Chains A and B, each alone.
Chain A
């Protein structure tokens, strides 16, 4: 089959399937469907951050900042720029615009900061993430601390799944290309990579910008799902949440990021009955204990660096 056709089908089929399932689900499950959409948004964030933290071996702690850029840009576009357009069209354009601007922000942030390594890079990206948040907090037309209200709630499971499938497939295709090889080379040994002619800065900034653009998409979907956004939804803790998903899934494993994002979104919801039983909300305590236990017992994460399809349960050893 033509690889492009395969890509299009690979994106469309899961999205349509999810939409069909969601529309079949009775109203009593609408809460569950909404949680699943949230899981999908988190999965986009985790898969995109994995591109930087797992595959390229850099360490970004500011992913929530780019998500905020995407969320606010798309919210502005749909409320101020495209109010005349039909709902879904305006929504798609706004989310794409958000992704684009977030990618641009990622490129701008990446250029100076990717000269740094390791801890310092982590700190600088953390700083940029916080600065983006404080900037939004101080912009009156974005609602400031009160938040941005009145965003049309257009995000459906279909769009979430479409974006997620697109991001995952784009990652898979990129990994099979020159770019993917260059990123892996940088992760394994930056000096050796540049010695064999990989333009390390260019590839690092590229990974960073692509990852930021995907985070922007996720932000746009999030804004149009909640219909209300607030700078505090995109604080340092949100960035940390995404990093946790990537590390727990196994740094460098796309399927691991995906699994961990879904598991970590569902876990607090699954623990809800327990909270009602004990009367105190122990969910976050359990979440953090599970995180520590996981790091101590299985430091490589759920998948390590492998992908689901590389586990080889079905091949002979």
Chain B
């Protein structure tokens, strides 16, 4: 019983990390109808940014809340800037072009970030510095809840709530929803569409950076291709929940994290990468709009 609880807990914190990445996919998809293949690599660059800022004089050298917070903020800021730059120089010039071109450009940006990181930071994995003290927060019988898991869950769910409030309670959030609904109509009523799209990229990238820091805390290793698999899985999670739907992305990611953790726990570790895609295919064949997605009537 306790192993099951332990696995569920692990799955929950893995799912929370996937959720932060999935939110970025879903935000960008909602607003541009673009599968942003570079998102997993923004996650990777953010992990490097976190590594360097944690080792710099910016952050205190001993693990603790300050070091964690400084690293988190620095990494989120760096990723937001990167997201803005990618949108401005690679995606904005293609506005109005067929979506396939946007998609291939996203793949190009993804390849560029991976290979540039490999040249700049080396191909070998680096150890992510210790941001938080390990140890057990509380235990009950065989169930151990690590300090790190508590931090991961608190940070992730805090950010998700903040995003929810931002999208539904602020003027900028309302503008984002308007642009997601229709670029033309939003522009007609005076919403600065380009600025809103840029903002969406900044927010999505910052969330990916938060995920990268949490991922680094939990699995302390950083490498140029680390973003590919978490990126693909977060994307699957976004589709599972209904792409373009924020709550759906969180739900999908948590389900995926739990499922993956259970599969690993019951001896199917080599199958875990297939699991995500199997779930994906089932959901797309049975309910293509995702768990929380809406069906739209096709206009002829």
Contacts and interface: CB of A to CB of B under 8 A. Distances in A.
Contacts of B107: 240, 243-244, 291
B280 to A, nearest CB: 5
Interface in B95-121: 97-101, 103-105, 107-109, 111-112, 114-116, 118-119
A280 B119 contact: yes
Interface in A109-138: 112-113, 115-116, 118-120, 122-124, 126-128, 130-131, 134-135, 137-138
Contacts of A120: 239, 284, 288
Interface in A55-89: 59
Interface in A203-255: 236, 240, 243-244, 247, 251
B188 interface: no
Interface in B237-285: 239, 243, 270-271, 273-274, 277-278, 280-281, 284-285
A170 interface: no
A311 B115 CA distance: 36
Contact of A285 (B116, B232, B270, B274): B116
A287 interface: yes
Given A124-B280, A296-B93, A288 B108 contact: yes
Given A191-B300, A292-B105, A295-B94, A127 B277 contact: yes
If over half of A's interface residues share one DSSP class (helix, strand or loop), that class is named, otherwise mixed; here it is helix
Contact of B274 (A122, A134, A191, A247): A134
Interface residues of B, number: 42
A130 B274 contact: yes
B273 A134 contact: yes
B280 A284 contact: no
A131 B119 contact: no
A131 B278 contact: yes
Contacts of A191: 298, 300
Given A251-B100, A281-B119, A295-B94, A138 B270 contact: yes
B263 to A, nearest CB: 12
A116 B232 CA distance: 19
Contacts of B33: 119
Interface string B282-299: 001100100000000010
Contacts of B104: 243-244, 247, 291, 295
B164 to A, nearest CB: 25
Residue among A122, A130, A251, A295 having the largest count of chain B Cβ atoms under 10 Å: A295
Contacts of B35: 119, 122-123
A282 interface: yes
A299 B101 CA distance: 6
> Taking each of A59, A115, A134, which has the highest tally of chain B beta carbons within 10 Å of its own beta carbon?
A134
A295 B281 contact: no
A123 B290 CA distance: 13
A131 B281 contact: yes
Contacts of B103: 122
A126 to B, nearest CB: 8
B90 interface: yes
Contacts of A280: 119
B90 A288 contact: no
B112 A289 contact: yes
A89 B176 CA distance: 63
B288 A116 contact: yes
Given A112-B285, A138-B271, A292-B105, A282 B100 contact: no
Nearest to B277: A127
A240 B271 CA distance: 23
A296 B288 contact: no
A206 B232 CA distance: 29
A296 B90 CA distance: 8
A116 B284 contact: yes
9 contacts: A59-B100, A113-B284, A116-B288, A127-B236, A127-B281, A131-B274, A244-B107, A247-B101, A288-B111
Interface of B: 33, 35, 90, 93-94, 97-101, 103-105, 107-109, 111-112, 114-116, 118-119, 228, 232, 235-236, 239, 243, 270-271, 273-274, 277-278, 280-281, 284-285, 288, 298, 300
Given A112-B285, A122-B35, A131-B274, 8 more contacts: A126-B232, A127-B236, A127-B280, A128-B277, A131-B281, A134-B270, A137-B270, A244-B104
